[in-house]
Structure 1
Amino acid sequence: MRARRSPEGRVAVVTGAARGVGELLARKLAARGARLALVGLEPDRLRQVSDRLPTDSGHWYADVTDTEAMERVAREVRERFGRVDIVVANAGVAQGGPFADSDARSWNRVIEVNLLGSATTARAFLPALLESRGYLLQIASLAAITPAPLMSAYCASKSGVEALANCVRAEVAHRGVKVGVGYLSWTDTDMVRGADEDEVMRELRQRLPWPSNRTYPLGPAVDRLVAGIERRSAHVYGQWWLRGMQGIRGQLPGIIATVGQREMRRFEPRLAAGRGARRGLVGAGGAADEKARAEQP
């Protein structure tokens, strides 16, 4: 097992830091002595998170899909703290429902935030990470390991960020920068609670085989992410059983296709009843993203 490198005194950037995984990760890193740069779309919540941290911190309002904004943030964080050692590309949104009935604007936004936003974050901060020989952690998901019906945008985006991180890792390893992928199953966040508000999505998830059919507490999952950051790990698993999924991932598309066909036939009448209703981004984070875009000039 790789030796741990304490985050004490190091500068960590966390996107999507206003709530959920990002907020708790910032708090736990700060408790270990890291200085924090918080990035997100909810300035009041970011300020509240920053004010409660026990170490030096700052917060930046920025859309991770905005190249100019993220370059500005990277420059200002570097000026504010003098260095950047850790970057966690955590910002993400989700949208559910059948692909054929999906709202194209919301579907595309999931790809923009989760995949293009992660690429924009990495591109903006890589120069600083190359200076510090730092660590980039891309938050992916069980959705990167296995496809799932009614989650096409999210699965596509998380598969993309996993591939992105694996590519970048190979490109920068010889210069001392480590790149990791963080995998989380259903974890108790606003996003998951928002997805569960859809009756079909909730029931379909409950019909998944154990242990993928339950919601896991946030704290232990984030503790595992922190341990992965300290070890600068290539792969970090928020739940213990996700590591084992890697060995069977080649078989999963076929299994999901067979089981998914049966379940979609079961749910088709209820899906048809809701056809035509707009399915926007889920959860409080999704609402914040939609609000920020609506306020853009």
Structure 2
Amino acid sequence: MSDTQLASSGAAPLPHPVRPSVPALPAGTAFFAGQVALVTGSESGIGRETARQLCQQGAAVVLNGRNAERLAQTRQEFEAAGYAVTSCVADVTDYAACEALVGTALEAFGRLDILIANASISQRAYFADMQPGVFRQVLDSNVYGTVFPLKAALPHLVRSRGSVTFISSISALNGMPSGSAYCAGKAAVANLAHTLRLELADTGIHFGVVHIGFTQNDPDKRVLAADGQPVPIAHRPPRWQKSQAEVAAIILRHIRRRRRRTVISALGRLIVLVHTWLPRLGDWIVLRTLRRMRHFYE
């Protein structure tokens, strides 16, 4: 049976498979020792740093991305550090590609314990200006780019009583100008996680959401403009940004504690507070900043 057939059929490996490529670590030295994690969008950025820290804590990790050259560079870097990794070029908005991605994990390591749905496309465009196809592209990357890897991985996560974390954004908590499709997609996956907790409560799978705030980005990170062209991300004051390492550490703590929701940064927690108790004040603040600080959104 091929990797793709194995993933799509729901077939699972024998209990406690032998995984010679996972490094043996003394008990208690690393929380994720012996576990296998798949991190989508881990060729760069937050996904790469999260994968690195999982490896440092003993996990075997499946790296993923769409850029074959960048993914190969990340894999080579990790292997040089002695980490147990494999990789798969896959577009997570393509279900067949996600089946192959999960099959890669099973072929290399024999099981799957952790899925972090991190891959997504962001935008820098006002709704009225966006081409319909661009809106769909951003929305698909955030929604189907989360749903399809999970659908392919679900039988194996049921078997391991594993952990699923959707990477969302603080912009999903109350919306943000120039981010309509991105905010809608990130809000959708947060509600999806809640639904799955109810539907799959008996499986023992952990479903969590991490709402990420402003984070330092790779210099070449790009988002989509209204016409679909890649452009630099909007300006963010450095003092408001967390490092990728800080964000990755919070994601791992979220998984270890099997938390339902983690909101990163004081700004994110303030948004939750204001949106819950003083929504009109929240809208007033956003409209005021939109008039006075348009570069913040553009």
TM-score, normalised with respect to structure 1 = 0.78
Q: Aligned equivalents of 2:191 and 2:220: distance in 1?
A: 23
- Using the aligned pairs only, state the percent identity: 31
Aligned counterpart, 2:131: 103
**Residue 224 (structure 1) aligned to one of 239, 244, 250:** 250
Q: Which position in structure 2 is the counterpart of 1:146?
A: 174
- The DSSP-based 3-state class of the residue aligned with 2:58 is coil
Q: 1:11 aligns with which of 22, 28, 36?
A: 36
Contact 2:221 2:233 in 1 (8 A): no
SS in structure 2 opposite 1:37? strand
CA distance in 1, matches of 2:222, 2:209: 24
Is the 1:98–1:149 contact (alpha carbons within 8 Å) kept by the matching residues of 2?
yes
1:43 to partner: Cα distance: 1.6
The number of equivalent residue pairs is 259
CA contact (8 A) 1:225 1:237 kept: no
Matched, 1:215 2:241: yes
Residues 186-227 of structure 1, C-alpha deviations (whole Å, 9 max, x = no match): 1011499646x979953xx66xxxxx9822222111111111
CA distance in 1, matches of 2:197, 2:219: 28
SS in 2 for 1:83: coil
Match of 2:280 in 1: 254
Please state how far the C-alpha of 1:261 moved relative to its aligned partner. Answer: 3.9
Equivalent position of 2:212 in the other structure: 184
Distance 2:280 2:220 in 1: 25
The RMSD of aligned alpha carbons is 2.9
- Contact kept in structure 1, 2:126 and 2:177, CA below 8 Å: yes
* Structure 2 residues not aligned, in runs of 5+: 1-29, 224-229
The structural deviation recorded for 1:257 is: 3.4
CA shift for structure 1 position 263: 4.7
Offset of 1:64 from its aligned partner?
Answer: 0.5
Match in the other structure for 1:239: 265
Gaps of 5+ in 1: 207-211, 271-278, 280-297
How far apart, in 1, do the equivalents of 2:232 and 2:77 lie? 36
In structure 2, C-alpha distance between the alignment counterparts of 1:138 and 1:191, rounded to whole Å:
24
Q: Relative to structure 1, is the Cα distance of residues 262 and 227 closer, same or farther in structure 2, using a 3 angstrom cutoff?
A: closer
Q: Are 1:147 and 1:256, in contact at CA under 8 Å, matched by a contact in 2? A: no
Structure with greater helix percent: 1
**Residue 142 of structure 2 corresponds to residue 117 of structure 1:** no
Report what 2:85 is aligned to: 57
From 158, 162, 165, the equivalent of 1:134 is: 162
Deviation >6 Å, runs of 4+ = 197-200
